[in-house]
Structure 1
């Protein structure tokens, strides 16, 4: 039986992936570029996303830096105004807390995370949260999940990672931790063949950890 769960955040616990994409799209429209969604999803696996297309179009780094700040402002606007809850998440966490200790390991920035969780109950079920500022190398590098293991005092074999993207899956695999992929329409085209399990909702984790 697994004793610990390390959760990714965006797309797993809150429905934010689409709005991050829309913020980048809007920031590029401001400088006359159209963000191709399919290419964005492919680039996202490599950790580049929005700005790969900007660079390919010849946009200079100074402009990209300026528009990155614009994108971040748009994203925070969406976080405050759009519906990003995922049905059943809080109930699933309440049930899972009977069996395991849990934490969040996310590439979200601290400022964004705090906006998201100002009025939500998700964090109350977590031992801790690691945001992007809490480690040096981002997913798909194993450092984020290895940092989570160390913080929990957990072994790889007794831990489960829950992800929704190929980049996150690769991070978990590189850290030597079994990974469950939860369905996310935004990342459904990713190759998840290395995942230990595929689920549609978090409540399905209960049966997995009790096996």
Structure 2
């Protein structure tokens, strides 16, 4: 029986991954580099991201550092102005809160996380949030989810992780926690063979949890 759920954030509870890509694309365009989306998605499978193509193209580290700052500014602009809600999330969390306790374990930086949740209703259902600054080693290392277990005082067997990336799935598996993977367009081609429960939407997660009670 599952009593606790640890949610990843971006791509699971909010639809931000496209805008993260667009912010990087926009920043690199300013230094004359076109960010290839297909290559970006392939790089994501290997735990890489926006800057892999820049490095491969010989862009200097100090230029990349400047692009990071520009990207971060564009990303926060998008977070404030674009529609990043995922339909049905609040309703599912409201229903799940009757049966399980929930927390968020994200690689998002605190400043971005706070922008996202300035005007949203998700956090009212969470016992706690762990952002990137709250642990030392990032996913796919197990530390983030092991830290979440400690915060709950929960066992691995009574906890479920909900992820959308192979990197996050590897983190959950390394922590010894069953993982449900919800698919989205940015991660759909990644390897989820180790997932305990592949689901299309969080609506499926509600059914999964209620069946186990």
With structure 1 as the length reference, what TM-score do the two structures score? Answer: 0.97
Q: Within 1, Cα distance between the matches of 2:42 and 2:154?
A: 33
Distance 1:142 1:18 in 2: 26
User: Which residue in the other structure is 1:80 paired with?
Assistant: 80
Aligned to 1:198: 198
Shift of residue 43, structure 1, vs aligned partner: 1.7
Q: What residue is the counterpart of 2:157 in the other structure?
A: 157
Unmatched segments (≥5 aa) in structure 2: none
2:118 is aligned to 118
Compute the RMSD of aligned alpha carbons. 0.9
1:40-119 to structure 2, matched below 5 A, reads: 40-119=40-119
1:33 aligned partner: 33
Q: Give the whole-Å Cα distance in 1 for the aligned partners of 2:29 and 2:109.
A: 23
Which deviates the most, 138-147 or 83-92? Answer: 138-147
Q: Deviations over 1:159-194 (max 9, x none)?
A: 000001111111111111100011211111111111
Cα distance in 1 for partners of 2:46, 2:39 equals: 11
**Cα deviations across residues 44-95 of structure 1 (Å, max 9, x unaligned)?**
2333201111111111111111100000000000001100000000000000
Shift of 1:40: 1.1
| Paired residue total | 211
| Paired residue secondary structure (2:157) | helix
SS at match of 1:140: coil
- CA apart distance, 1:141: 0.9
CA distance in 2, matches of 1:58, 1:87: 41
Q: How does 1:5-24 map to 2 (within 5 A)?
A: 5-24=5-24
Q: Quick one: distance in 2 between partners of 1:203 and 1:99? A: 15
Per-residue CA deviation, residues 108-148 of structure 1 (Å, 9 max, x unaligned), is 11010001101100000000000011011111111111111
Question: What TM-score do the two structures reach when normalised by structure 2?
Answer: 0.97
Alpha-carbon distance in 1 for matches of 2:46, 2:175: 17
Counterpart for residue 2 of structure 1: 2
- Kindly state the Cα deviation for residue 38 of structure 1 after the two structures are TM-superposed: 1.8
Match of 1:136 in 2: 136
CA distance in 1, matches of 2:154, 2:17: 29
Alignment-derived partner of residue 180 in structure 1: 180
> Counterpart of 1:98 in 2: which secondary structure?
coil
> 1:39 deviation in Å?
1.6
